[in-house]
Structure 1
Amino acid sequence: MQWQDEGIVLGIRRHGETSVILDLLTRARGRHGGLLRGGRSLRMQPVLQTGNSVEAVWRGRVEGQLGQYRVEGTVSRAARFLDSPLALNGLGLLADLLRLLPERDPHPALYDAALVVLDHLDEAGIAPVLLVRFELALLAEFGFGLDLTQCAVTGATQDLIYVSPRTGRAVSARAGEPYQDRLLALPAFLRDSGNGRGFMAGAGHPGNAAVRAGFALTGHFLARHIYGSRDAPLPDARARLLSLLA
């Protein structure tokens, strides 16, 4: 069988002397691996950098086997990030998050969101905001979406400034005041982003303190629901990114 799709390079593993196992996130087929012969050649090395976009053709006798890729580069992004530690660590974080997706399970909304993040990683005022929103969207895609639309206690839709660390639901300033030391902060840029669906809406920089609060919020639920179930820590690239925002 054979299919063709666009994809984002997530990484490669050496295979023999000249080939690689290529890990792509494709739009229609999800995260999909395949053997790429000649993948270690000088011609292919710039194409196979993490974060680049390619047009891929996959061939295999049956759907379940590894199969073989033939790829051509379409968008080269990696070189733009070389002079920016924030962009490089943002790229590492994004790739780590996407590698959590199960193989051959399509996630077209996350694919489109990843493209938005990739195209703005070298914009220091926007990239951290988009990465937090992407983590929020990833949680929703795994079935652990946060409800940031109304207060879990009163049903109010105004003055939502907290999130329950247990339920992932928003809490208003008045209802949460007696318990504020036990609640997570809800920064306005996440509250106003429609639970992560409006990636570029109001994507101006809200300040590093608000961005760190956003990462603290998503990090709590990533550690609890996703990385914890894998007995794994949050990505090192994420910790390095947070240190740059300190």
Structure 2
Amino acid sequence: MEWTGRGIVLTARKHGENDVILEVLTPDHGRHLGLVRGGRSKRLRPVLQPGNEVHLTWKARLSDHLGQFQIDPLNLRAGDLMNSSVGLTGVQHLAFLVRLLPERQSYSGLFNALSVVLDHLNAAETAGALIIRFELELLRELGIGLDLSSCAATGTREDLAYVSPKSARAVSRAAGLPYHEKLLPLPSFLLDGQRQAGSELTWSDITQGFDLTSFFLNRHLQEREARDSGTRSQLLGALEKRYREDFPWNF
């Protein structure tokens, strides 16, 4: 068995004295693990850092074996990411999220989304909103995607302001007002698919977005009897500090 393709490094765990077990996300083979011989060498160690993109060749005698990777560098972004707290905690949080996915299933859209997020993690004006959008895409892949296209109660597409925690569907301001304490706020930037996050976003917008995705991700973790890694709170702390430094007027 053999395949070749691109992969984004999630983790590299020590295996023996010189080797590592590498975990990557690929567009065609999903979350995939493999052994890298000499992965702890001076040549490969900088390449096998979380967030880097590499070219992979995977070989195994049988398809269900761990197999081995041969690695060539493509986009070594890890060095830049490690220079900021947002980059460092962001990579850790994104890797945790991807591990919620089953192994060896194709996620080409999620792979492309992860590449975009990693390329913008050090941009304070875009990082938070892009991570929230990535989490929404991940929820969809997990089978619990949110429907933000129209109001669950009336069908209108106008003035959507809430999300129902039961149906995961949007609710208009008028329909949701009598029940607003039981509904989740829907930040308006998630309704405009054309506009990426920019300096117009406030920290309140970002926290509402994370509160929204957190609710459904935590529900998924509870159903799987899994634990939150704690990376989300670390990431939010780093993002808030960065926002306060760069955009104090948005608080």
**Which of 197, 200, 214 is the matching residue for 1:203?**
197
Q: Which ranges of structure 1 fall in alignment gaps of 5 or more residues? A: none
Query: Secondary structure, in 3 states, of the residue corresponding to 1:125?
Result: helix
Shift of 1:245: 4.3
Q: Using the alignment, how far apart are the partners of 1:181 and 1:167 within structure 2?
A: 16
Alignment of 1:110-125 (within 5 A): 110-125=110-125
Shift of 1:14: 1.1
Q: Which ranges of structure 2 fall in alignment gaps of 5 or more residues? A: 241-251
Alignment of 1:14-53 (within 5 A): 14-53=14-53
Q: Equivalent residue for 1:186?
A: 186
TM-score of the superposed pair, with normalisation by structure 2: 0.92
Q: Equivalent residue for 1:224?
A: 219
- The answer to whether structure 1 residue 169 and structure 2 residue 164 are counterparts is no
Q: Equivalent residue for 1:12?
A: 12
Q: Amino acid of the residue matched to residue 25 of structure 1?
A: L
Query: Secondary structure, in 3 states, of the residue corresponding to 1:32?
Result: strand
Query: Any conservation in 2 of the 1:212–1:245 contact (CA below 8 Å)?
Result: no
TM-score of the superposed pair, with normalisation by structure 1: 0.94
Shift of 1:112: 0.6
Q: Which moved more, 1:78-87 or 1:10-19?
A: 78-87
Query: Secondary structure, in 3 states, of the residue corresponding to 1:149?
Result: coil
Question: Number of residue pairs matched?
Answer: 239
Q: Using the alignment, how far apart are the partners of 1:63 and 1:76 within structure 2?
A: 29
Q: Using the alignment, how far apart are the partners of 1:245 and 1:108 within structure 2?
A: 27
Query: Any conservation in 1 of the 2:10–2:23 contact (CA below 8 Å)?
Result: yes
Alignment of 1:55-204 (within 5 A): 55-193=55-193, 201-204=195-198
Q: Using the alignment, how far apart are the partners of 2:114 and 2:78 within structure 1?
A: 14
Q: Using the alignment, how far apart are the partners of 1:85 and 1:141 within structure 2?
A: 28
Q: Using the alignment, how far apart are the partners of 2:12 and 2:235 within structure 1?
A: 23
Q: Deviations over 1:41-73 (max 9, x none)?
A: 111110000010000101111111111111011
- The answer to whether structure 1 residue 241 and structure 2 residue 235 are counterparts is yes
Q: Which moved more, 1:81-90 or 1:2-11?
A: 81-90
Query: Any conservation in 2 of the 1:132–1:215 contact (CA below 8 Å)?
Result: yes
Q: Amino acid of the residue matched to residue 209 of structure 2?
A: G
Q: Amino acid of the residue matched to residue 229 of structure 1?
A: E
Q: Using the alignment, how far apart are the partners of 1:131 and 1:235 within structure 2?
A: 16
Q: Deviations over 1:65-91 (max 9, x none)?
A: 111111011101111122311121111
Q: Using the alignment, how far apart are the partners of 1:68 and 1:45 within structure 2?
A: 16
Q: Using the alignment, how far apart are the partners of 2:83 and 2:36 within structure 1?
A: 29
Indicate how the Cα distance of structure 1 residues 119 and 245 shifts in structure 2: closer, same or farther if over 3 A, else same: closer
Query: Secondary structure, in 3 states, of the residue corresponding to 2:124?
Result: coil
Query: Any conservation in 2 of the 1:208–1:245 contact (CA below 8 Å)?
Result: no
Query: Secondary structure, in 3 states, of the residue corresponding to 1:41?
Result: coil
Q: Equivalent residue for 1:212?
A: 207
Query: Any conservation in 2 of the 1:86–1:244 contact (CA below 8 Å)?
Result: yes
Q: Using the alignment, how far apart are the partners of 2:38 and 2:91 within structure 1?
A: 25
